Each structure stands twice: as C-alpha cells, then as structure tokens.
Chain A
Amino acid sequence: MDVEASDREFTIPVGPQHPALKEPASFLFKVDGEVVVDVEPRLGYNHRGIEKAMEARTYIQDLYLVERICGICSNAHQTLYAMNVEEVAGITIPPRAKYLRTFVHELERIHSHLLWVGVAAHEIGFDTLFYYVWRDREVVLDLLEEISGNRVNYAFNAIGGVRRDVPSEKIPKFQKALDVLAERTKYYHGIAASESTILERASGVGYCSKADMLRLCGVGPHARASGVAKDTRHDHPYLAYDEVPFNVITNDGGDVLANVLVRIGELYESVGICKYVLDHLPDGPIREKYSPLAKIPEGEATNMVEAQRGEDIHYILSKGDNKPYRYKIRAPTMANIPSLMVKLKGGYIADIPIVLAGIDPCFSCTDRMVFVDESKDKVWDMNDEELRRYGIRWYQNGNNK
C-alpha cells in the first residue's frame, strides 16, 4: 500500500486499557494506514503515592506496603526492601534464610513467566494454550500456598530473614512438583517453537536491536531477547546466586518470539535453581532478631534484584528513625518503556496487543484506546478486547501477506 506518510497520519491513543493484562496505561499512536509511525506513552494511571506513604510508616509496616507495589513481583520487591533495611541496620541474615529467599524468589519467577505465556497466548487468540498454562500454573501456586499460606502476596520476608520455614519432610513433595513443571515447560517449548499461529504473530514482530536496547537502558527478559546479556543475579550476585549455578538466557531475535523463548528458557533455569536450593538447604535459624520498634542507624543503601520483569532497584536513606526518610523504587517496566516505543514503531496496529504483552508490562493498565485520523478528521476508539480481536481477525484475513 503506497501512501504518503504526511497525508495519511493518524493519531491513535491506545489505553488506558492495557490490551494484555488489563493494566492502565495510555499510548498515543500516530499511524499511516495500518502502520504505526510514532508512539508516545502516557503513564501515571497506576501512580498511587507509595514512596510518600512509606515515609509515614515504620519499617515493619512498609514491609507489607512494598509487597503490594505489584501483585506479581510482590516477593521480589519485598526481598529487595528487606535487603536494603538489613544493610543499613547492619543485619546479616542466616544462610538458611538466604536460600529460602532464593527459593521463593525463583518460584515467583516461575509463576510469573507461566502467567505471561498464558496471557500472551490469549492476546494472539490462542485461548486453549492460555487455559492449559494457567492450569499448570496452579502447581506453583499450590507450592507457594503450602510454604507461605497464600497464593499471591506471601509476606514471606521479615527484616532479618524469612518468616516461615520449609520442613524437610516436605522437600521430596516439592521436588516432585518441580519435576512436573519442568516437564510441562518442555511441552510449551515445543509449541512455541513450532506452532504456526504463534510463529506468524510473534516472529519478526516488535523488533528492537541490541544497540537501541542498550541506548535506552532496557532490562530483564525484554533486554535479553535483544541479545543484551544483563541479569542482576549474575552481574550483581545477591542472596544465594553466587553459590547456585545457573545460565543467563539470551536470544538475538529481538522480537516477540525471542521474548517467548527467553522466558521459557528461564523457566527451565528457575526450576533448576529451585531444585538445587532444596538439595543444598543449609541448616540453622531462619531469622535474626529485629525489634518492630527499633530505629536503624543513619545511612543509605542501593540494591537491586532481578525481578520477573528485570532489574528492580530500590534506594533507602535513613536518618536514624524507625521510619525511612526516603525510599525510592524503580520497578523494571519503567526502564523498558523507551525501548517498547521502538518496538511499536514500524509495526502494524494489529500487532499492538502482542508487542505490549511481549514486554510483560506491569504498570497496571486498563482502558480504551483512541484512534484519531487527522486527515479524515475522524476519531474513534476501541477497547483492549476489541483491539485484541481486531488483531486476530486481521491476521486471519491474511493482511500481513
């Protein structure tokens, strides 16, 4: 289709209904026919004011607030928070606590990646796969519920260690559950690599080069899918990652398919790490004493963890009180927004849902997407469900050929 870009530019605001995991974020798209020419993100729908609220709460109360920054990465944020407070307070956690934190950190990664595979499948119309994956995901959630008492938001960390232990008689059962997960992951790997529906919607779609990814400071599986071998567990080892062997999974594809393959590869790695941790769990106590009313000394700390979506960084500044003077949180998705814009540019409107889903976004989004056709003076909108169906129909009608 030969069109003059300047004549036929449309501006399409997409959002705040996120087409994938129904989180609020808005995007303004300029399109030329079916092709996206430019994108601008509009964020802030999920801005709650957590950092300010943390300054008004004690360190113990903040443990529970920090967990709810995101319900999917909740343990990652809480672990990082505990690490920061412990560093300033001068607390070293016992080795068993280190391993248990690693175990739950990886279990959460497994649950998140499986969730993502299901959601991504749903976005391209492959609902059967969505249901299969979410059924299998219940295996991980059962494990987490058995360890912590809850499927989501485990309240697993305490300042000084972890709150609950894993009794040794449960370990064989957990090992068996992990083996089931490994086997199911192999099955999904086979589908992802060969199923034509997926390949058509994901291969070559939403491309970002390694150079752009580095320039725009991308993180996590999203960056690793563009060949950037950046993984906080490897580059800045924390918890037990200096003792547990694992591989950093990368893929040079740079597209949505590369995203799928990286996350599936990481599922294998996470299962491996969990099994290793269970086999090598040190004996001993699970937490150091820390009084809820304690004040921690003055000081600052900066730490990072590899959350499910990438490098998560928190900074703490203490002025010697029992409340933080300043606590800064930068969750991984924010670092991926600029490179997401690169992925969307030059793609089709029909690709928007899967590319957005591809970065495994976590900004909490929901809402309608508005399309503006400047040359025709037309404004119309689609919500996330309509855009998802638009994408599926568009490809089924062979428009990409």
Chain B
Amino acid sequence: MSYNDDNKRTVEGLTAAIGAENVIEVKMPKDRRIYVTIKTEKLREAVTYLKEKEGITHLATITGTDLGEERELNYHFNRPNLILTIKVRVPGDKPIVPSITDIINGATLYEREINDLLGVFPEGHPNPKRLNLPEEWPEGVHPLLKKWDIKSLRKEVDGQEWT
C-alpha cells in the first residue's frame, strides 16, 4: 500500500530532522501504527518538523504512564492511514516536559490533564491550571501514579478510611 511508503518516509524525515542519535527506538507493530521514542529535549523540534514539513497537525491526545523510575508520555498524532506516537520519558523525581501548546494549540487541555493526574508539568504552558480534579483535592497527589491505590487515595484525600 502506498501509505506504508509514505509513513516510512515520514519517520525517516523525522529522524534526519532531529538527528539519528536523538531517536531512541522506532516500533512499527502493524500497518499504520508507528511509535518513535525520542530524547525529551528534542520534543519541540520533532513536533515542529511534523507540523511544518509533514503537515501533521492533529494531536489526538497525550497519554501518560507511570513506569516507576520514569514517566512516559505518548503524543498521539494522526493523519489518514497513520497514527504516529512520539514517546518521551521524564525522570520520576523531576517530571517536567516542554509544553508544545504554542506549536499545536490543541494540546492545551491534554497537557493540563497530564499535570493533574500524573504530575508531569508542561513547562511553558500558558495556563497550567488544574483541570480534572476538584479544588479541595490536595496538591501533589496525582492519582494515576502507581504508588496510589483506591484505599490510600481516599485516606489521603478524606483523611480517613471509608467504611
């Protein structure tokens, strides 16, 4: 299929643009799905390349996962016949990622959500206010982190065990 060639060319172009040494891994588990893990400091450059040279401007969402020592962020971009996921990792003790909201305006709510639920702060975001969690929810308690389970979350937030 012609889109397979287009998709491969896109990845090659991205690799050339940010430098092969900054591309940690490329996975193509099936047709139309590509996962590219890159160094976090090259995130903005990669997104800019995709927008300006490949015409890929649609960010579907940003997924964050707590992998223990690190937190992984997946930026799911797509265009017809391709879901291209850019993966970056940030250390658990310093979870900060450069914001891409000025490049892709549609990223604004997704970055705020990652901040609320996983504690990864989007540096440079114009309005990194709380999005999902209620006002009375304590600061610094990010529910999607693996260290919390439902019992310990309730204890932390309500100050007591639920009966």
Contact = CB atoms under 8 A, between A and B. Distances in A.
Does a CB–CB distance below 8 Å link A and B in the complex?
A: yes
Interface of A: 43-44, 47, 49, 51-53, 56, 87, 214-218, 230, 234-236, 299-302, 304, 311, 313, 315, 317, 325-326, 328, 330, 334-335, 337-338
Contacts of B83: 236, 302, 304
Given A44-B132, A52-B144, A235-B81, A338 B108 contact: yes
Contacts of A47: 132-133
Contact of B133 (A44, A216, A300, A334): A44
B76 A302 contact: yes
Interface of B: 29-30, 32-33, 35, 57-61, 63-66, 74, 76, 78-81, 83, 85, 104-110, 117, 130-134, 143-144, 148-150
A326 B63 contact: yes
B100 to A, nearest CB: 12
A153 B110 CA distance: 28
B147 to A, nearest CB: 12
B80 A236 contact: yes
The SS class assigned to the A binding surface is mixed
B104 A217 contact: yes
B76 A315 contact: yes
A316 to B, nearest CB: 10
Given A43-B132, A51-B144, A328 B80 contact: no
Contacts of A313: 60-61, 76
B23 to A, nearest CB: 18
A302 B32 CA distance: 10
Contacts of B63: 315, 326, 328
A215 B60 contact: no
A304 B78 contact: yes
A299 B30 CA distance: 12
A141 B149 CA distance: 39
Contacts of A328: 61, 63-64
A44 B131 CA distance: 6
B57 A317 contact: no
A304 B58 contact: no
A47 B80 CA distance: 31
Given A230-B58, A235-B80, A216 B144 contact: no
B153 to A, nearest CB: 8
Contacts of A52: 143-144, 148, 150
Nearest to A299: B29
B60 A216 contact: no
Nearest to A232: B78
